[in-house]
Structures are given as structure tokens and as C-alpha cells.
Amino acid sequence: MEEKKSFLKEKIDHKSPNKNIVPITTSIGSDGKLSIGGCSIEELVKKYDSPLYILDEITLRNSCKAYKKALKEYYPGESLPIYASKANSSVLMSNLVSSEGFGLDAVSEGELLTALKGGVPNEKIVFHGNNKSTKEIEFAVRNNIKVIVDNDYDLERLEVLSNSLNRDLEIMIRFTPGIECHTHEYIRTGSFDSKFGFGIEYLNTLFDKISNFKYLKLKGLHAHIGSQIFELEPHKDLGEIMVNVILDAKKFGHDIKKLNVGGGLGIKYTENDDPPSIEEWVKTISASVVKACKKHNLDLPTLMCEPGRSIVSTAGITVYKIGAFKKIPGIRTYLSVDGGMSDNPRPITYQSNYSACLVSNPLNINSKNKYTIAGKHCESGDVLFKEIELADCKTGDLICVFGTGAYNNSMSSNYNRIPRPATVLVSDGESEVIQMRESPLDLLKYDVLPNRFIKQN
């Protein structure tokens, strides 16, 4: 039998999971089949059905520990890593990252409630967003959650709210540092042309305005330069820029105590990806901030960072069951699965690439076929892989897609009225549901037929 080179034979990096394609606990049994967290994937699908999201607890915890360890080693001041919950928001994720000493960032009341339900301390939660509702801002303030001010609209309402409460409110502001990164234009958030944050050229005017408010106290700065970044140099530049902004704020009487450098560290989706390690990323940004503070004789601020994808993406896989085959001679063979763009919208949205294998033949022994893996939705663009080499497979076989922990579940939909998959957490041979599978009846829960239609019938 011929065994092809496989990413599953690469050495696992336990210290920096973002440099792996597969979860840390991935293994191939004596039967040649794939397991995660000591659990047979075939058995998990028998128990929980498919499609199925699976999260590996060990990979999640190792990712968190890598950030904590690196911050302790390379940043001599106070630090607080904050999980960017938009990557994958659930009560379990909130509870797990909190247990590892992380805070959490949220961009909606739903994410705030999820964080609180998961046990994240209020003082370790930050509230982001470029168009927060008044209700959401009031919810955050009532719960003593720090608001990151994104624009003048945020600022105006917070001033009114602080006056009505007759008490001080600590705030942070987000600004765009103008750093370009080699990443997809739809997820590049740190350039001058961005919907997020105040323009850097406006900051002195902003600092002057805030200094005239009675109760709003500016205590922190936030900037973020993008996602899935493989370069270290932009983050080195970011530290210097942010410290210079601290100096500008100081001229207007603002004592900045917190510096939030955002996240954006990339992960390894395919064999061609080579992201920096978590340690390298933390070392770079820490050294930049420390150097700039020493240069200007500033006390070190609390250093905050907001990893999301690099915490959860590699820990997650999605398992599909193969259904129909369609061979178009001389063109391609379509292999259809029981999920697609509703549980993973990233390929159709960002043209994102992933790695995958058969659960029953993960090393692609005797692989000689190329397939286009199509989802089941009524969209021609619902394609998860355009050309992927797999061993012989048939209807009913399982395909495992790696690196789906981030922005799959959280961006999922009910397009074509297809229920969302269940999510299970695996560890030491045990599995537990952390998000239940939706049913078709669940999708009707919020549909209402107007009374006049009922009377007509």
C-alpha cells in the first residue's frame, strides 16, 4: 500500500498549538482510524450525529497557558490576556478561558451575558463595538464592565449616562494606528480606512474633549491591526505608536494605565501556513512596549491583548458524512456532505482554505482521487474544498475538517432552514455536549402567523 505524505505525520507543537494543523490530542488508532481527545470520531458521530463540531480541551488550555507563560516571562509589568469571544462564544468557552486567568471581550449584549453566565469576572470583561446600542451600553455600565469607546456616538451617550449616575466611569478608546498587514481586505481593521475606532489624526481633539467631561475618566487605549497575521514587524511598530499616543494623552491630563494591543496572531490552516509562535508574538509586542516606555521614562501600563482565533481555532474540528457523488468526465468529481456554508461560511465568504482527511483513512493510504467537496445548500458557491486528494471513499464515510474552532460556529446560520450542529468537548476519552444540536422544530420557535392570516384560514 502506498502512503502519501500527510500533515497528520508532522510533529505536534504542544507549546504553541497555533503552529499545528490538528489538535494536540489527535491520534490514529491501531485500526487506522482517527481519534481526538482519546475519543473515536466514528463513535462520537454514532452518539451525537453529524455534522458535528468537536473541541479538544487540552489544546484550548495549552493555548491559554502559552499566552500566560509568555506574558509572565517577557512583560515585567501587569498583564491581562483577554479572549476575543467573537471567535467562538459559549458558556463553556467563557468558563474555560476564565479558569485559565483570561478576561474576555464582547461586542453585544448576548456575548456579555454569555461571559457573565460563564463566570468571567465583570472587571475582566471589555465591551467593544462600532455601533453599540444605548441599551447595550447601559447594560455594560450597570454590570461594571469597561466600555471601549469606538466613536463620538459612544462618547456622547457615556457622558450623558455618567452625568445621570453622578459618578465616575472609566473608559478606554479605540483608535486606528494606520498599520497595513498582508491579510484579507475584509478582515483588515487597523488601516486608516476602517469602520473601527477614532482616526489617529483626531486623537488630540478627542483628548481635549474628554478632559472637559466631569465623570468620564480615560484610563486606556486600544488598537488592533487585523487578523490571521503572520508578520511580527507590524506588532513591533504598534507598541511604539501606542506609547507615543500615551504621551499625547498625558499633555491633556489623562493618566493612561492600560494598553490593549488587540490580537490577530495567525494559525496554521494548511501546510503552506507558517505563523509565528504565541511566545514569539508576545515577546515582540512586549519588547516593543517596554522599549518605548523606557525611552520616554514612562511607568509600564497593564498590557492587554485579545487573542481569539489562536486560542480556539486549532482546538476545533468539524466532522461531516459523505452523501452524493457526481462525476463530470474530464472536469471534476463532486462529493457532497451533510453540512456546508451554514456551519462554515468562511470558504464562500473569504475563500478560506482548510485541511481535511477521511476519518477511516486519515493518512490517505492509496490516495489517488481528487474531489471537490460541496455542501448541501442551494448555492453553487457552497464548496468547502475545490480540489482535495483523498483515498477511495463512499457514501456514509466521514470527513474531518481541521482548524474550525474559530468563526465556524460563531458565524453559522440557518440558511435553507438547516439546524446548527451540536458541539462536544472531548478530553481524556470523555465527551460532553456543550451546545445542543438544533432541530427543524427549533427553527419555527420564533415564527408568528399574523391573526388576520389565521382568521382567513
Q: What pLDDT is stored for residue 1 in this prediction?
A: 42
Give the count of alpha carbons within 13 A of 344, CB side only.
32
Q: What pLDDT is stored for residue 4 in this prediction?
A: 57
Cα separation values, 89 from 22, 97, 113, 289, 415, Å: 21, 11, 10, 30, 20
- Tell me, yes or no, whether 156 and 298 share the same domain: yes
- Tell me, yes or no, whether 169 and 300 share the same domain: yes
- Tell me, yes or no, whether 91 and 164 share the same domain: yes
- Tell me, yes or no, whether 160 and 205 share the same domain: yes
In a domain? residue 452? no
In a domain? residue 456? no
In a domain? residue 1? no
Instruction: Grade residue 454 by pLDDT with cuts at 50, 70 and 90.
Output: confident
Q: What pLDDT is stored for residue 193 in this prediction?
A: 78
> Is 80 exceeded by the pLDDT of residue 368?
no
Average pLDDT over residues 318-324: 98
CATH number of the domain within which 149 lies: 3.20.20.10
- Tell me, yes or no, whether 175 and 287 share the same domain: yes
- Tell me, yes or no, whether 93 and 16 share the same domain: no
In a domain? residue 448? no
**Integer Cα distance of 306 and 140 in angstroms:** 19
Q: For residue 378, indicate whether it is catalytic.
A: yes
**Domain end residue (candidates: 294, 309, 324):** 309
- Tell me, yes or no, whether 120 and 43 share the same domain: no
- Tell me, yes or no, whether 288 and 343 share the same domain: no
Q: What are the tens digits of pLDDT across the range 266-315?
A: 999 999 999 999 999 999 999 999 999 999 999 999 999 999 999 999 99
H or E stretch at 434 = strand 430-435
Q: What are the tens digits of pLDDT across the range 377-421?
A: 999 999 999 999 998 899 999 999 999 999 999 999 999 999 999
Counting the structural domains of the chain, the total is 2
In a domain? residue 156? yes
Q: What percent of the chain has pLDDT over 90?
A: 88
Per the structure, the complete domain to which residue 170 belongs is given by 58-309
Q: What pLDDT is stored for residue 276 in this prediction?
A: 96
| Catalytic option among 357, 378, 393, 400 | 378
- DSSP H helical segments within 143-232, as ranges? 152-165, 203-211
In a domain? residue 457? no
Q: What are the tens digits of pLDDT across the range 66-91?
A: 999 999 999 999 999 999 999 999 99
**Integer Cα distance of 204 and 385 in angstroms:** 48
In a domain? residue 449? no
In a domain? residue 52? yes
- Tell me, yes or no, whether 271 and 392 share the same domain: no
> Is 70 exceeded by the pLDDT of residue 5?
no
- Tell me, yes or no, whether 336 and 346 share the same domain: yes
Average pLDDT over residues 423-439: 98
- Tell me, yes or no, whether 51 and 123 share the same domain: no
- Tell me, yes or no, whether 296 and 156 share the same domain: yes
**Domain end residue (candidates: 282, 309, 336):** 309
Q: What are the tens digits of pLDDT across the range 254-275?
A: 999 999 999 999 999 999 999 9
> Is 70 exceeded by the pLDDT of residue 451?
yes
**Integer Cα distance of 359 and 157 in angstroms:** 53
Average pLDDT over residues 309-335: 97
**Domain end residue (candidates: 309, 337, 359):** 309
Instruction: Grade residue 183 by pLDDT with cuts at 50, 70 and 90.
Output: low
